[in-house]
Structure 1
């Protein structure tokens, strides 16, 4: 395959981790703090800790599979190669729902921010302007996307660090618990396991992003760094969520301080640092949303590219790589067009349906480990192999099942409708299973190794 028809290897370990963190949006911990604090009776950091444990099992499974199949297709690729091409298509179709809608939701959040600042301006202007810029950056090069994303992520982390310093000052003045040396944010008499589980279900979706970095496998300078990138993204994101929520919970033991618990970030900024810091904090949230928009836009265009390259989507369109930019140009533009739907006044159902695709992907990545290593490679004859390739992924799949049990009704219905559409398309594609879904062979030579972007 010609170099001009392949993705370019230009991303190092920390660039990939940065894209994952950008996708995860670290400042979201403050946006959802009030909701989760109510759900858990005031132990938000404990909910994040529980969620981190759940995500790490799945992250380890992603790390194992990305070494076996160094492709940008993620859960779609792993399932089709270890189980069944038809099942792989359905997993990819479900995951596509998650990846395709996230850029749109980011555009919607930007619209909300801008309308709150400039209420007299037409809302569509902000959506169109944002989508055009994000699409152009993703179209130009992966390096441009990565570099801008890294700057925005650094800005977010610096702001969170400033919050921690200001919070410490407030502790010395007697605010909240009056000290960071307290166990109240982790345990008190009113804590119940069911409440922690409910809170963990909510915050688990803050971790969506560690899995998305697998989409950059074919653009990694060294694909052997991918397992580390996946684990580091989950761990660093989890630590940021835990520390930030611990300080916030110690400052605000309950939600009585907040006028609006649906999004507490502006009020947290106001109470901790005054009006000026509140505005800066909102600017940080804006930057976080843009970073997430860049990363999510890049990820879904890579998934579409792999599905097009495999022939399960029209190859000439979805499998196209721009000869100069070396990016999946048509897919990038298509995602931009879909993101324009954020002009719509209400996307509540679409936002909730995102979780459906993520849980499908997480479940089947864990099952792919078992299918490949246990059933194909017979790696179950030692205690180490049995634990690594059977017990751990089973725990990961089981913990994900708990999240399935707590999935919202609207999300389940919307996801099932989307899956039904995908199944009908697969019937058409395969002429009612009379023909096979085409298979892509993974050839290392397909991807050049030059570092320049």
Structure 2
């Protein structure tokens, strides 16, 4: 499987933003509303403000680092070059669990949605079918996948806008005045619940992180990727806040629903009847398909970066197909691993994403702070704010979200980390052998 070709830069800003939004999965706001409202005592919009604040500072850190290392690999690349090669490999390993788990979650959600509509077909058939179709699309190239995602994201946004309009209509014509809006300021007793909900909702913002793995697919990545990162995080944050603000206005108490975890279909029926429910479920299916498509792209690019640098076997993980210019072995491997969704439930898969995402977010902020202390060209006020204070604030928020994680997430993360550490020890002969170094030209941050 030797190869000499390189990934071609085909993606424009709109393609990258579409992939980021698809990975973020706008419909996640509906899937998580019931659980988040219950955890935060009806303060979901506030929880989104908290997590968006954390994500925005972390997004700025990603934007700085991608200008220094405009290559595939994301946090693995940053940590390996700025901290230590061994640490970089471990961070890449732990972060990869999020990329691996998201295709599982989307396959599980697709199985749940489609099984409810077609009960005679077993759920496993939908799971396998979704993974096969996504894998085939990704094999034919990232630009095709990005174009498909753009259409599906636009459809999701359209459904979201209709959802908001129907919610406002229900509020206005309902028995209570529209002026009974949710309080955005939590009581002291509700602060912990808001952060617990924020830790859950942080999953919705992983899209901007996935964007950085597409740096080598993107035209002019040093300018395009940072713009896309801020756009994806901001569009997502605004959309999530507006939707939940009106949802919480109409349903301040989610205990009225039969299934808190599946409250969104019940809400769709209440505000728009069965006709809107049909469109809503179509949007949900588009969401899991688009997110699964983007997740597989990102996971395969991260594996490609590690294979190209011979952290993983180069002949397999560093291979690009000469015609389709895509890392086909990695794409197929991620698809096969996603089939483990047949053995997991949503809670288990979600726990994997929590651990991987928070690990990546933490080390990205740490890496930017390291660039501050290594800078020898003077540290002005602006540089101090952007390279020290902002990433420190982002890291502080992420640490608090770490504390809010459940024990299952922490246990799974610990086990996954131990497995990666054992692999690192064996592959480097107990750290006697230096892992391969990545030499990239460092540019101004």
TM-score by length of 1: 0.93
Asked whether the 8 Å contact 2:372–2:388 carries over to 1, the reply is: yes
Written as runs of structure 1 = structure 2, the 5 A alignment for 1:186-205 is 186-187=184-185, 192-205=190-203
Where does residue 249 of structure 1 map in the other structure? Answer: 248
Q: Distance in 2 between matches of 1:178 and 1:279?
A: 28
1:5 partner SS: coil
Structure 1 window deviating more from structure 2 (11-20 vs 191-200): it is 191-200
Where does residue 5 of structure 2 map in the other structure? Answer: 5
Shift of 1:167: 1.6
Gaps of 5+ in 1: 445-453
Q: Deviations over 1:217-265 (max 9, x none)?
A: 1111121211111011100000010000011111111114311101211
Shift of 1:3: 9.8
Where does residue 281 of structure 1 map in the other structure? Answer: 280
Shift of 1:43: 1.7
Shift of 1:313: 0.4
Where does residue 394 of structure 1 map in the other structure? Answer: 392
Q: Distance in 1 between matches of 2:8 and 2:270?
A: 46
Q: Deviations over 1:48-78 (max 9, x none)?
A: 1111001001000000000000111110000
Q: Which runs of 4+ in 1 moved over 3 A?
A: 187-191, 345-348
Asked whether the 8 Å contact 1:356–1:411 carries over to 2, the reply is: yes
User: In structure 2, do the counterparts of structure 1 residues 37 and 115 end up closer, same or farther at CA, with 3 Å as the change threshold?
Assistant: same
Where does residue 448 of structure 1 map in the other structure? Answer: none
RMSD: 1.9
Where does residue 237 of structure 2 map in the other structure? Answer: 238
Q: Distance in 2 between matches of 1:338 and 1:178?
A: 50
User: In structure 2, do the counterparts of structure 1 residues 140 and 79 end up closer, same or farther at CA, with 3 Å as the change threshold?
Assistant: same
Q: Deviations over 1:103-155 (max 9, x none)?
A: 12211111111222222222222122111100000000111100111111000
2:212 partner SS: helix
Shift of 1:387: 1.5
Asked whether the 8 Å contact 2:213–2:302 carries over to 1, the reply is: yes
Where does residue 295 of structure 1 map in the other structure? Answer: 294
Q: Deviations over 1:399-442 (max 9, x none)?
A: 11001111111111111111111111111111111111112333
Q: Quick check: 1:332 aligned with 2:331?
A: yes
Alignment length, in residue pairs?
Answer: 440
Q: Distance in 2 between matches of 1:352 and 1:379?
A: 42
Gaps of 5+ in 2: none
Q: Quick check: 1:142 aligned with 2:148?
A: no
Q: Distance in 2 between matches of 1:152 and 1:98?
A: 22
Where does residue 227 of structure 1 map in the other structure? Answer: 226
Where does residue 406 of structure 1 map in the other structure? Answer: 404
Where does residue 167 of structure 2 map in the other structure? Answer: 167
Q: Quick check: 1:216 aligned with 2:214?
A: yes
Q: Distance in 1 between matches of 2:166 and 2:249?
A: 13
Written as runs of structure 1 = structure 2, the 5 A alignment for 1:35-434 is 35-174=35-174, 177-179=176-178, 181=179, 183-187=181-185, 192-223=190-221, 224-344=223-343, 346=345, 348-371=347-370, 373-378=371-376, 381-434=379-432
2:254 partner SS: coil
